[in-house]
């Protein structure tokens, strides 16, 4: 996956803190309207907002164990069903996560990625920024809210898909050859990425960093982008399981 992106310096942990605060604010709305927890999450078929929260809070606790104990075998009890208890459960897990993420990005840490340089605390600082962003988007979509992404965070999210998830999906045997590559071109700043195996792209898909990131994560349709070339083949490439 070739790419070109002149990124800017990001404070990953500060961005994660902001994502957590937004998600918690959404959850607090469920204290007054418990029916919100039963809202379907469009990008996660079969999941409700409660299921999404259970997953995300579990991820927070799993990452804390991964950082502090050096393995990926962490697990947590299911999230409570009472809205007020759920908010407190989410908040306490978020605070633990932020504490675990604090530190030198170069400090060694276990991670699920086998790519060079990914066994560091910095890997988790970046990964949790995007994990919480995508699931904040899920929660907003479930609640029918307008979604906004910071452009530079989104651009880094695109890069992370190719740095982390495409190699991971291939290592797991989920993602095969991508012989019809698509050039992704950012329109609101510098950045180009080749989604597919090296070679001439069959199509170019252009859009804002936010739109490109959401399309890669299947949180927006590929038709949201502006296409040139073979849109049908390009859309088929982006429909492959590029992310977990």
Rounded CA separation 87/143 (Å): 16
Angle made by CA atoms 95, 97, 101, in degrees to the nearest 5? 120
**191 is a domain residue:** yes
- For position 9, what pLDDT does the model report? 87
Do 157 and 177 belong to one domain?
yes
Same domain, 117 and 54: yes
Last residue in a domain, options 106, 129, 148:
148
204 strand-pairing partners? 183, 228
Which of 124, 148, 172 is a domain's end point?
148
How many residues are recorded in the chain?
244
Residue 112 forms part of a structural domain: yes
Q: What is the pLDDT, as a whole number, of residue 7? A: 61
Per residue in 11-66, pLDDT tens?
Answer: 999 999 999 999 999 999 999 999 999 999 999 999 999 999 999 999 999 999 99
Q: What is the pLDDT of residue 218?
A: 98
Q: How many domains would you assign to the chain?
A: 2
> Where does a domain end: 115, 148, 181?
148
99 is in which domain, residue-wise?
A: 11-148
Whole-number pLDDT of residue 6: 57
CATH of the domain at 216: 3.30.1050
Is residue 1 included in any domain, yes or no?
no
Domain membership of residue 244 (yes or no) is no
**133 and 158 both lie in a single domain:** no
Report, in angstroms and rounded to the nearest whole number, the Rg of the chain calculated over CA atoms. 18
Q: What is the pLDDT of residue 3?
A: 52
Kindly give the parts of the chain with pLDDT less than 50.
1
pLDDT value at residue 45: 97
Count of CB atoms within 10 A of residue 21's CB?
A: 13
Q: Which of 193, 182, 181, 122 is nearest to 154 (CA)?
A: 193
171 and 139 share a domain? no
Q: Are 18 and 109 in a shared domain? A: yes
Do 77 and 198 lie in one domain? The reply is no
Co-location of 143 and 160 in the same domain: no
- How many separate helices (H) and strands (E) can be counted in the chain? 8, 5
The reply to whether 156 and 142 lie within a common domain is no
């Amino acid at each position: 996956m070739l790419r070109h992106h002149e990124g800017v310096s990001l404070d990953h942990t500060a961005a994660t803190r902001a994502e957590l605060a937004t998600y918690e604010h959404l959850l607090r709305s469920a204290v007054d309207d418990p029916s919100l927890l039963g809202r379907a999450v469009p990008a996660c078929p079969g999941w409700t907002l409660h299921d999404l929260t259970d997953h995300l809070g579990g991820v927070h606790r799993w990452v804390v164990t991964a950082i502090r104990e050096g393995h990926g075998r962490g697990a947590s009890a299911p999230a409570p069903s009472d809205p007020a208890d759920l908010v407190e459960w989410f908040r306490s897990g978020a605070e633990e996560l932020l504490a675990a993420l604090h530190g030198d990005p170069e400090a060694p840490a276990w991670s699920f990625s086998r790519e060079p340089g990914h066994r560091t605390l910095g890997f988790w600082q970046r990964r949790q920024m995007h994990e919480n962003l995508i699931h904040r988007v899920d929660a907003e979509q479930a609640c029918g809210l307008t979604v906004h992404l910071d452009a530079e965070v989104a651009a880094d999210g695109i890069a992370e898909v190719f740095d982390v998830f495409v190699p991971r999906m291939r290592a797991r045997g989920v993602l095969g050859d991508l012989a019809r590559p698509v050039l992704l071109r950012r329109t609101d700043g510098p950045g180009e990425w080749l989604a597919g195996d090296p070679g001439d792209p069959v199509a170019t898909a252009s859009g804002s960093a936010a739109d490109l990131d959401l399309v890669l994560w299947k949180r927006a349709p590929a038709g949201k982008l502006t296409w040139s070339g073979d849109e049908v083949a390009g859309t088929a490439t982006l429909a492959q399981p590029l992310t977990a």
